[in-house]
Every structure is written in C-alpha cells, then in structure tokens.
Amino acid sequence: MNAPLSFASFNSQASTYDANNAYLLAQLCVETYRREKVEKLGGKNENNDDWRKRVKQEASAWGFVSDRVYCFNNQGAQAILLADAEKVIVAFRGSEELSDWEVNFNRLKSRDFSNNYNLCLHTGFCNYLNNIWKPYKDPQERIEAKGIKAIIQEEMKNSSKSLWFTGHSLGGAVAVLAAANCIFFDNLPFEVSGVYTYGQPRVGDWSFAKLYNSRLRSKTFRFVNNNDVVTKIPTWAPLFLFRHVGQIKYLTQDGEILDFEKLNIWQKWQEIFIDIVKDLREEGINSITDHDMSTGYIPPLLRVISEADAIA
C-alpha cells in the first residue's frame, strides 16, 4: 500500500533529479483523475465538483491550505495547482475520456505557440492547455477561471518560489508545453525548476525539441515504463516528425529505474529486447497495462525511496 501523500519532504530547491520529488509528483498525478465508484457518493463516480471538493479537502493532509489549492476544469481539461511559501506545483490530468484520446491522436500542425519560432506542435495538446492556461468562463465564477498562467503569476510575484510541472499520459505532454510557455512563448519573469512526466507522448517536432532542450532538458525527467505504448505516439504527422524532450528515466519490467541515456546503444536495445521477451513469455505484450500510473509507475518510485530510507 502506498504511503499517505505528504509534501513535507518535497525538495523545493532541487536543481537535479530528485527521487523523492519524482514519487510525490507521480502521486499527485493520480489525484488529477476523478475517482470511480466512490463509497461516500453511494457508489457513484465523481463528477467535476466532487473531484474539486475532495482535492481541496485532502490537500490539507498533503501540507497545503485550501485557499492555495486550485482545481482547474474547462472543456474537458483539468489540472491541480498547489502553492505555499516555497513552491508552486501544477499537475495536469491525463487521458480519462474518449474525447481525451481524440486529442491524443489529433496530430495536425499547431501555430498557437509557434509563430515566433518556426516550429510545429501538437494541435490537440495545445488546445487542451489553452482551455485552462488562459482565462475561461466559469458559471460559478471561481478564481480558477483566471487561468493557470494568471494564478502562477500571482503566486510567483515578488517571491523566490520554485515552479514545477507534472503530468501523466496526455497530462505529461501538456506539462511540457506549460513549461515551454513560461520560458519561451509567454516569457514569464521566472524559471521553471522541474518537469516530471510519466507515460508521456511526443509534443512537437525537432525544432521544438531543440528549443525546449536548450533551456529545460536538465530539468525535465520523462519516465517510460517498460513497453508503455503511449510514449511511442504520435510517431509522425504530415510533413514533420515528432521528437521527445528531456532526460529518460526507464523503468524495466523488474522495477529498476535506469538513466537510459547513460547506457550504450547495445545496453539500450538489450534492455528493451529483454522486456519484450519477458512480456511475451509471461502475459503477452503489456504495452497498455504498462501505462497505468498506480500499478506501473508508482511502485518502482516508492521502492527507491523506501530503500533509501531503510539505509538511512
């Protein structure tokens, strides 16, 4: 069973990869999803209001006060923003509904963020981010309707807080776009401290990857679990190729976490081939099940920090 979620141990000043931060951000990604068959709701699935209410209530146990917890929801796009005196963390929800997968497979060129840089980005991901990054209409006129960008600016104003982005699946792709927005497209007057994504599809073309990595590669950690199929899409789009960004943290079928880029070519192919063979021998190809956050990504991350705590 996973340990209760608490950000008391989150390293707000981390300048390199932090295993504890990776685990906590992965847990937060799970909270961006609405829960199914909730006992308190009489066995019903959470709606958006139920999800928002629960997150704001539970965030007190995570170490945040409710009025510094923001739950964004507009046209199917959802995210959580947590803020305190030291940090701002934004977690984007991944694929949850059929419409989300339509976004995932919409591979047309987008110019929403790219006019000044002559690059190509994924239209669906850009639209998803725009729905909650910019101001939007909210029937209940909640503060979140200002949009994520405005809330970040308010929270970061005249402070030395660190800024973090995270997301699973579709949410990971949007987290990368949000970080790029801050540094390149919106030119906000602060740095991004870290971007941790899990099971993330590709976001843009070679030009975008080159631009992104010029400032954010050392701060971006992209987790790939075994044969997770979502990390391989979209492989191409008309007239241009998609490229991944950041540094790869590869989770083997045995639960090891490897710095994939530090392996030589033979070691990389060996690791991938061994995992595929094991899948075929045991339960068949697990490319879909490997994408699951709670069973695929979190257990290896928890094991690493548990082992570190045991040694300490």
Is 29 domain-assigned? yes
Range in 22-26, 134-138, 189-193, 283-287 the model is least confident about: 283-287
Beta strand residue intervals within 120-168, DSSP E: 121-122, 162-168
d(CA 223, CA 166): 11
Is 10 domain-assigned? no
pLDDT recorded at residue 306 = 87
The arithmetic mean of pLDDT across residues 188-215, rounded, is 94
Q: Is 71 helix (H, G, I), strand (E, B) or coil?
A: strand
If one compares 110 and 294, the residue with the highest pLDDT of the two is: 294
Is 1 domain-assigned? no
Q: Is 42 helix (H, G, I), strand (E, B) or coil?
A: coil
Q: Phi then psi for 166, rounded to 5 degrees? A: -150, 165
- CATH number for the domain harbouring residue 115: 3.40.50.1820
Is 14 domain-assigned? no
Is 279 domain-assigned? yes
Strand partners, 73: 78
The residues, ordered by sequence, that sit 6+ positions from 279 with a Cβ below 8 Å of its Cβ are: 226, 227, 253, 285, 286
d(CA 161, CA 88): 7
Is 263 domain-assigned? yes
d(CA 111, CA 122): 9
Under the banding of pLDDT at 50, 70 and 90, the label for residue 152 is: very high
d(CA 306, CA 27): 15
Name the domain count of the chain. 1
Is 122 domain-assigned? yes
Give me the DSSP letters along 85-122: SSEEEEEE----SHHHHHHHT---EE-TTTTTTT--EE
Is 8 domain-assigned? no
Q: Is 83 helix (H, G, I), strand (E, B) or coil?
A: strand
Residue 222 in contact with residue 197, Cβ under 8 Å? yes
* Domain range for 67: 19-311
Residues 44-69 pLDDT 10s: 999 999 999 999 999 999 999 999 99
Residues 85-142 pLDDT 10s: 999 999 999 876 655 555 665 555 555 555 667 788 888 888 899 999 999 999 899 9
Q: Phi then psi for 78, rounded to 5 degrees? A: -140, 150
